Amino acid sequence: MSKAPKDNRPGARLPRGLRDYAGDDISGQREMLDKLRVVFERYGYDALETPAIEYTDALGKFLPDTDRPNAGVFSFQDEDEQWMSLRYDMTAPLARHVAENFDKLPKPYRRYAMGPVWRNEKPGPGRYRQFMQCDADTVGTDNVAADAEACMLMADAMEALGIPRGSYVVKMNNRKVLDGVLASIGIDPASEADAGRRLTVLRAVDKLDRLGAKGVALLLGPGRKDESGDFTKGAGLEQAAIDRVLAFVGASASGAADVFGVVEGILAGNEGGLAGVAELRAIDALAKAAGYGPDRVTFDSSIVRGLDYYTGPVFEAELTFEVTGDDGKPVRFGSVGGGGRYDDLVARFTGQRVPATGFSIGVSRLQAALAHLGKAKSTATPGPVVVLVMDKAELPLYQKMAQTLRDAGIRAEMYLGTAGMKPQMKYADKRGAPCVVIQGSQERDKGEVQIKDLIEGAKRSAEITDSKEWREGRPAQVSVPEAQMVSTVRAILARHKG
């Protein structure tokens, strides 16, 4: 007996760490990006779109997860055996673009970019390998006013999306200050030999919000095992050095009237660190002069940023409100964006120092936060008005009706299936149609159409039990002359808008 052939069909499954987006997710994201685009362009930024794929050497050594086998990025070789990678952020491609077009661009060059990025990181709840980023950067000036403006722009972006003042804060710190602290514990911030320990310390501090002081202390010392059993190797610092780092990152929470003065005391004698504090003082003064007080832009000594290409001020936009999770416990969204100054990134290509600063917004995380705030309700796109097909021999007439609605600016479609009226109505319900247009032979002979308000009909069927009340209420289905089809549909859409 011959064996049954093997089933070689592929399984319908998503790769780990990825997700599908559809319907309201996409329309909500589009609305968010449109609002951000308005803010960016008001500040004078121009749009730039770079490819999703770059040569791996153009992305450089500043990778987000260098302890993974594929160095934190998804890479492959082209037909010439050159290594290429999916971009892991929007900043490295910007540096390549500036270097390639340096003589053509105005300096400073201000650009914003929106698009997906990919990271070969361990996926987890709410942590995906592909996600949307939205960046704004200024390249070609070391004026600290550009850093202050980046913080102000982040604050304006939060409010443009409907996050009220008091529910967010933009926090700033400075890598020069952090380097001064590192130098004080015996880690040379300029030494290649100490580069690994330096990055380990910075990444440990960057997890303070999530892990607390105890978790950070383990990452600064021997290492830490997480809930899944995975072990992260620590920086191997002595206890005195750990205490010094924790004392610094807790400085902004000390309640001191002059927190910059407290940090200056910790950094006494370190010229680079004190220069970083001076920059922070200048940013603080510029922001306050423009009306951005500490409730919107403030210093936080625990802000680090995980990527290693930052060279000066760094900043994060943090949501401060709490929501209740599915388990009934309070949840804080925390950071939804961040950035900083990266004065050496373009120099990798040109050999010439080109100062730059900017920030990135995590769109997906921010979209989830807006949903919890109730600010994403208006992002759902209404379904189309569906023209039912009551007589297949008259398809051209139904197609003309759908096109008449479209020409009037109304989202509409003719039913393209082959089923009868009942399945067509079920289809319209699944599509979220606000109403359907019906024309059988009797209506056609009279030059009329019937328009059924599906939203009103569903509401009344749920709320009204008395037949007299049903008859006297607003009709859910009306017959109107064909010439009034558009105006009647518009009235129904206006009734249910918002």
Task: Map out the domains of the chain with their CATH numbers.
Answer: 24-378 (3.30.930.10), 383-496 (3.40.50.800)
For residue 219 the two structure tokens come to 């990452």
Taking alpha carbons only, the member of 188, 201, 173 closest to residue 299 is 173
Q: How much is the pLDDT for 324?
A: 67
Pairing state between β 223-225 and 297-299 = unpaired
Task: Taking each helix axis as running N to C, give the angle between helix 271-289 and helix 144-160, from 0 to 180 degrees, rounded to the nearest 10.
Answer: 50
Q: How much is the pLDDT for 213?
A: 86
pLDDT digit string, tens, across residues 63-111? 554 444 456 888 888 899 888 999 989 999 999 999 999 999 999 999 9
Long-range residue pairs from 183-188, CB within 8 A, at least 24 positions apart, any chain: 183/270, 183/272, 183/273, 184/244, 184/266, 184/267, 184/270, 185/237, 185/241, 185/244, 185/245, 186/241
Phi-psi region of 305 (alpha: psi -120 to 50; beta: other; left: phi over 0): left
Q: Is the pLDDT of residue 471 over 50?
A: no
Highest averaged pLDDT of the listed ranges 27-31, 293-297, 325-329: 293-297
Q: What is the mean pLDDT of the chain?
A: 87
Q: How much is the pLDDT for 161?
A: 92
Q: Which of 112-116, 295-299, 319-323, 465-469 has the lowest average pLDDT?
A: 465-469
Other C-beta atoms within 10 Å of 211: how many? 16
Long-range residue pairs from 328-336, CB within 8 A, at least 24 positions apart, any chain: 333/365, 333/368, 333/369, 333/372, 334/209, 334/210, 335/209, 335/362, 336/361, 336/362, 336/365, 336/366, 336/369
Kindly report the backbone phi and psi dihedral angles of residue 47, in degrees, each rounded to the nearest multiple of 5, phi listed first.
Answer: -75, 145
Q: How much is the pLDDT for 66?
A: 47
Q: Which of 239-243, 296-300, 338-342, 439-443 has the lowest average pLDDT?
A: 239-243
Half-sphere exposure of 119 (CA within 13 A, CB side): 19
For residue 193 the two structure tokens come to 């030999």
| HEC per residue, the chain | CCCCCCCCCCCCCCCCCCCCCCCHHHHHHHHHHHHHHHHHHHCCCEECCCCCEEEHHHHCCCCCCCCCCCCCCCEEECCCCCEEEECCCCHHHHHHHHHHCCCCCCCCEEEEEEEEEECCCCCECCECCEEEEEEEEEECCCCHHHHHHHHHHHHHHHHHCCCCCCCEEEEEEEHHHHHHHHHHCCCCCCCCCCHHHHHHHHHHHHCHHHHHHHHHHHHHCCEEECCCCCEEECCCCCHHHHHHHHHHHCHHHCCCCCHHHHHHHHCCCCHHHHHHHHHHHHHHHHHHHCCCCCCCEEECCCCCCCCCCCCCEEEEEEEEEEEECCCCCEEEEEEEEEEEECCCCCHHHHCCCCCEEEEEEEHHHHHHHHHHHCCCHHHCCCCCEEECCCCHHHHHHHHHHHHHHHHCCCCEEECCCCCCHHHHHHHHHHCCCCEEEECCHHHHHHCEEEEEEHHHHHHHHHHCCCHHHHHHCCCCEEEEEHHHHHHHHHHHHHHHCC
Q: Which of 195-209, 220-234, 238-252, 371-385 has the lowest average pLDDT?
A: 371-385
Angle, alpha carbons 414-417-423 (nearest 5°)? 95
Q: How much is the pLDDT for 293?
A: 95
- Residue linked to tokens 């992260």: 232
Q: Is the pLDDT of residue 362 over 90?
A: no
Q: Which of 5-14, 89-98, 210-219, 346-355 has the lowest average pLDDT?
A: 5-14
Measured CA distances, 159 to 29, 240, 294 (Å): 16, 42, 15
In this structure, are residues 273 and 179 in contact, taking their beta carbons and an 8 Å threshold?
yes
Q: Is the pLDDT of residue 197 over 70?
A: yes
126 — pLDDT class (breaks 50, 70, 90):
low
